[in-house]
Amino acid sequence: MRTTVGIVGAGPAGLLLARLLHTAGIDSVVLESRDRAYVEHRQRAGILEQGTVDVLRAAGAGERMDREGLRHDGIELRFDRTRHRIDFPALTGGRSVMVHAQTEVCKDLIALQLKEGHPLLFEAEALAVEDATTARPRVRYRHEGRDAVLECDYVAGCDGFWGIARRAIPERLGRTFERSYPYAWLGILADVPPSHEELVYARHDRGFALLSMRSPSVSRLYLQVPEGTDPDDWSDDAVWTELERRFETDDGWRLERGPVTQKSVTPMRSFVHEPMRHGRLFLAGDAAHIVPPTGAKGLNLAVGDVVTLARALIHRRDTGSDQLLDAYSATCLRRVWQAERFSHDMTALLHRTPDAAPFEDRLQLARLARLTSSRAAMTDLAECYTGFPLG
């Protein structure tokens, strides 16, 4: 099989890239190792930046997002039993974010691709990317029990942190930057309406907590826990009790409990691979970078990557120039490192390290007090949270 762009991975990065290329008249083939049901139900991010929302609308994938998604015009920071709201539109000239689960974005993009787009093959395991530095790169894959080869002009590695695309870049030509954190997030899904209309980020002496949601009737909540925690060690009652402690305020606000339907632990990691390009192989999304979830940047960074790549491929088709393709890695990495900085800063601001000294605790509180009393500081947070420019 032959195509212009071979896309490895049908997560949001690969699916959106395929959609952007289709609307521009560039053919592609998407290879996904998992089945459709798995892709459509794996729980991931749920916060869409303003730029991501705009891209999905322009790509024809925003109808259900606009109907079912929850627009949020701010977040609340809690510390010292007090509540402080950050008003996004007032600080950014009208920008906001949308709560809409990654699973729902994937469902809509899959439906569009299967109805209107080029081939999308599920249970097609990519085995290797070959000849990336030639004019005819190839992806070897296995589908329906047979080995096959996808010949292409370009390869987009959108297959996540554990995928095969990044391994096609020789170690001597790449460099990785990473950091692991000594804590994780214990997350729950609960059948109970959210106890607050916007996300709540809480800093507490016992650790961080986050109140989020998936819909008007489903809450998503997180607790900072030690790295390596087994979710089965926490009973539902223990989770709710600890959440109540960390969200407690002096104004009588209450956290509503409900049946827990899912419980999991998410490790915290920062990771960047440079460069994001090797010949005609281009990495996008988690294949190139990971951020801790505190800043809500993972999915949005993937969108920024594929918007940049689609723009470069269209420019190449229209002008014959490789200028934007040659600049792909540097262009993406400028945005990636700003997102890494913001995500790290938010994580350090709100989480308590296991060996934190009283001095460090006081510094955290001083930073939060400054952040919530300075319009300039609040503006910086609001601009970062609602999104860096795409491309």
- Structure confidence by residue, pLDDT tens digits, 185-214: 999 999 999 999 999 999 999 999 999 999
- pLDDT number for residue 233: 96
Cα separation values, 61 from 12, 16, 345, Å: 12, 9, 32
Q: What is the pLDDT of residues 10-42, one digit of tens each?
A: 999 999 999 999 999 999 999 999 999 999 988
How much of the chain exceeds pLDDT 90, in percent? 96
Quick: pLDDT tens for 331-367: 999 999 999 999 999 999 999 999 999 999 999 999 9
> Does residue 95 register a pLDDT over 70?
yes
Catalytic residue among 72, 100, 273, 278: 72
Edge-to-edge order in the sheet of strand 74-79: 82-87, 74-79, 199-202, 209-215, 218-226, 175-190, 260-274, 289-290
Instruction: Indicate if 385 belongs to the active site.
Output: yes
Position with higher pLDDT, 77 vs 41: 77
354 included as an active-site residue: no
Q: Report the DSSP beta bridge partners of residue 82.
A: 79
Query: Which pLDDT score, from 0 to 100, does residue 292 have?
Result: 96
* Catalytic residue selected from 22, 100, 196, 297: 297
Residue 44: which pLDDT band, with cuts at 50, 70 and 90? Answer: confident
From 100, 181, 293, 328, the catalytic residue: 293
Choose, from 141, 154, 183, 385, the residue flagged as catalytic: 385
Catalytic pick from 154, 201, 222, 328? 201
Q: Give pLDDT tens digits for 292-305.
A: 999 999 999 999 99
Read off the pTM: 0.95
Mean pLDDT over all residues of the chain?
A: 96
pLDDT at 45: 72
Active site residue 38: no
Domains of the chain (ranges, CATH numbers): 2-70+98-178+269-346 (3.50.50.60), 181-268+353-386 (3.30.9.10)
Q: What is the pLDDT of residue 41?
A: 87
Please tell me the predicted confidence (pLDDT) of residue 42: 80
Determine whether 115 is an active site residue. no
**Predicted pLDDT of residue 22:** 97
Catalytic residue flag (residue 297):
yes
* Sign of the alpha-carbon dihedral angle for 33, 34, 40, 44: negative
The count of other CB atoms within 10 Å of the CB of residue 330 is 12
